[in-house]
Amino acid sequence: VQHLRAIRIYLAGPDVFLPDFGKTVFDAKKAMCRQFGFEGVSPMDGAPDLAGLEPFAQGLAIYRANLAHMDSCEGVIANMTPFRGISMDAGTAFEMGYMAAQGKFVLGYTHVTEPYAERSERYDRAGTRDRIDHYASGTSIERFDMADNLMMVGAVYACGWQVEQSDVVTGEELTSLTGFKACLTQLAARTGA
């Protein structure tokens, strides 16, 4: 399959919370996309001017910019590595839903292979002093042999893919490109890039 322009991929994930808004990781992801003949689109591209805006208005401006980025892309590769809790970053989850609703491709990877159910149990075993939501004790635990909540895993699978799961060097869970490369490889095989 030939394309007049490169397939544009939205780079979703908690990468934006890394130092310098994840510039190092986004630059590396974009370079890797180019090697596969794709174009990576970072949420930080052409970041909106936030000067003079109150914090809440800043957040909204970023929300609108992210939607515009997603609307310009054919699909998403999501970093689904758990972030400050048992699940992947919730903002990234929102973005997967946003792309899935439009029938765009939804790929994802995680660098934590401990099953979702076990992470949930581990969280529930922690003392209430250290847990954010002590009131969630007694709630049930999803047991579907999935990497995360079924809504995100389902979106990936519905596209005919699977969530790429890999263990990486300790400390590099959020920054490693292992899973991202695995997703690009899948995508290239499908698109003939």
Q: By CB under 8 A, what part of segment 33-62 binds a second copy? A: 54-56, 58-60, 62
Asked if 86 interacts with a second copy (CB under 8 A), we say yes
**Could you tell me if 109 and 183 are in contact, meaning their C-beta atoms sit under 8 angstroms apart?**
yes
Name which position in 88, 107, 184, 187 contacts a second copy (CB under 8 A): 88
Give dist(CA 96, CA 13) in Å, integer.
10
Give dist(CA 168, CA 170) in Å, integer.
6
Q: Is the dihedral of CA 186, 106, 171, 130 positive or negative?
A: negative
Name which position in 72, 90, 113, 185 contacts a second copy (CB under 8 A): 90
Q: Which stretch binds a second copy (CB under 8 A): 1-9, 24-32, 34-42, 121-129?
A: 121-129
**Could you tell me if 146 and 117 are in contact, meaning their C-beta atoms sit under 8 angstroms apart?**
no
Binding mask 134-163 for a second copy (x = CB under 8 A): -xx-xxxxxxxxx-xxxxxxxx-xx-----
Total interface residues for a second copy by CB under 8 A: 74
Interface with a second copy in residues 7-36 (CB under 8 A)? 14, 17-19, 21
Give dist(CA 162, CA 119) in Å, integer.
20
Q: Which stretch binds a second copy (CB under 8 A): 3-11, 25-33, 78-86, 181-189?
A: 78-86
Q: Which H/E stretch holds residue 121?
A: helix 116-125
Residue 30 or 111 having the CB closest to a second copy: 111
